[in-house]
């Protein structure tokens, strides 16, 4: 494997920014690995970009096991992190241990990601104790969309800022190897990054994070009409697919393309 938990710590101490991307199947995982991106997250964003739902909330543990298995298969040299879905780990430490253990055993994931702050500290400690690496996720937490009434920035007030700084410290002390900072003020992301030994991975959190993560479909423009503010498109693949499919359909309709 090209990347391990150790890589995250070493990259930060070398000052080398960490590139991460989501993947949901063997093809996207193999393409990412071929591009040299070997830290892959099977995000519960699959609920929105693969299943076409309005939020990540309906994603199940079965869904995460299923997609993670194919990502591990498609990118055997990569470090694959499974995103634990809503209500698979929030009820009790025992539930969380079983759910995370199941994902690791059934899919071959190398680590799990958990959204949450001090509330998940006991679970993080229990997972690390049994050998399952955990990456945290604070700031805008998509699984709490109903509580906040949307996907807006977090940590803008002074209380919000203090809470995020405290949560990051508590999670690091509990044993996470890295932490995703989603949609928080750039200055705060810089402060958090400077206060932690482990690397921060930003999405909508500015340039002072130790790495960046993006959703595969957003980065490549696979949904041409969806342009989140935190994404820069590195390709217009959605439009390229529509153009290619339209050319295929046109040739079939005119009798020009016949499979031989």
Question: Is 64 one of the binding residues for ligand KIV (CB under 6 A)?
Answer: no
Give pairs for 154-161: CB < 8 Å, separation 24+: 154/182, 154/183, 154/184, 155/184, 155/185, 155/188, 156/185, 161/185, 161/188
Closest contact distance (angstroms) between CB of 44 and ligand KIV is 5
Question: Is 43 one of the binding residues for ligand KIV (CB under 6 A)?
Answer: yes
Question: Is 44 one of the binding residues for ligand KIV (CB under 6 A)?
Answer: yes
Which lies closer to ligand KIV via its Cβ, residue 82 or residue 121?
82
Pairing state between β 79-83 and 200-203: unpaired
Closest contact distance (angstroms) between CB of 80 and ligand KIV is 13
DSSP string, 159-221: HHHHHHHHHHHHHHHHT-SEEEEES--HHHHHHHHHH-SSPEEEESS-TTSSEEEE-HHHHHT
Closest contact distance (angstroms) between CB of 143 and ligand KIV is 9
Closest contact distance (angstroms) between CB of 43 and ligand KIV is 2
Task: Please state, in angstroms and as integers, the Cα–Cα distance from residue 194 to each residue in 136, 164, 169, following that order.
Answer: 16, 13, 11
* 40: enclosing H helix or E strand: strand 39-42
Residues 80-119 that bind ligand KIV (CB under 6 A): 83
Question: Is 203 one of the binding residues for ligand KIV (CB under 6 A)?
Answer: yes
Assign 31 to helix, strand or coil. helix
Among 215, 220, 221, 222, which residue interacts with ligand KIV (rule: CB under 6 A)? 215
Question: Is 180 one of the binding residues for ligand KIV (CB under 6 A)?
Answer: yes
In the residue annotation, 172 being an active-site residue is answered as: no
Which lies closer to ligand KIV via its Cβ, residue 12 or residue 217?
217
Catalytic residue, from 94, 167, 182, 251: name it.
Answer: 182
Residues of this chain that interact with ligand KIV (CB under 6 A) are 22, 41, 43-45, 83, 137, 180, 182, 203, 213, 215
């Amino acid at each position: 494997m090209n990347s391990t938990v150790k890589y995250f710590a070493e990259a930060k101490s070398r000052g080398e920014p960490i590139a991460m991307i989501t993947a949901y199947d063997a093809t996207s995982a193999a393409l990412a690995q071929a591009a040299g991106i070997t830290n892959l997250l099977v995000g519960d964003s699959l609920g929105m970009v693969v299943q076409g739902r309005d939020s990540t909330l309906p994603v199940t543990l079965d869904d995460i096991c299923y997609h993670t298995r194919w990502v591990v298969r498609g990118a055997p040299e990569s470090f694959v992190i499974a995103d634990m879905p809503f209500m698979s780990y929030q009820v009790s430490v025992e539930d969380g241990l079983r759910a995370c253990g199941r994902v690791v055993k059934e899919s071959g994931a190398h680590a799990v990601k958990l959204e949450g702050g001090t509330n998940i500290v006991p679970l993080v400690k229990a997972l690390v104790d049994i050998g399952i690496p955990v990456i945290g996720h604070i700031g805008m937490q998509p699984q709490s969309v109903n509580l906040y009434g949307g996907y807006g920035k977090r940590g803008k007030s002074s209380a919000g800022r203090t809470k995020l700084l405290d949560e990051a410290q508590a999670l690091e002390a509990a044993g996470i190897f890295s932490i995703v900072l989603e949609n928080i003020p750039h200055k705060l992301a810089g402060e958090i990054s400077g206060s932690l030994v482990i690397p921060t991975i930003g999405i909508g959190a500015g340039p002072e994070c130790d790495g960046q993560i993006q959703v595969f479909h957003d980065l490549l423009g696979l949904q041409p009409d969806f342009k989140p503010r935190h994404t820069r498109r590195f390709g217009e693949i959605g439009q390229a697919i529509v153009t290619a499919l339209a050319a295929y359909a046109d040739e079939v309709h005119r009798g020009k393309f016949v499979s031989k």
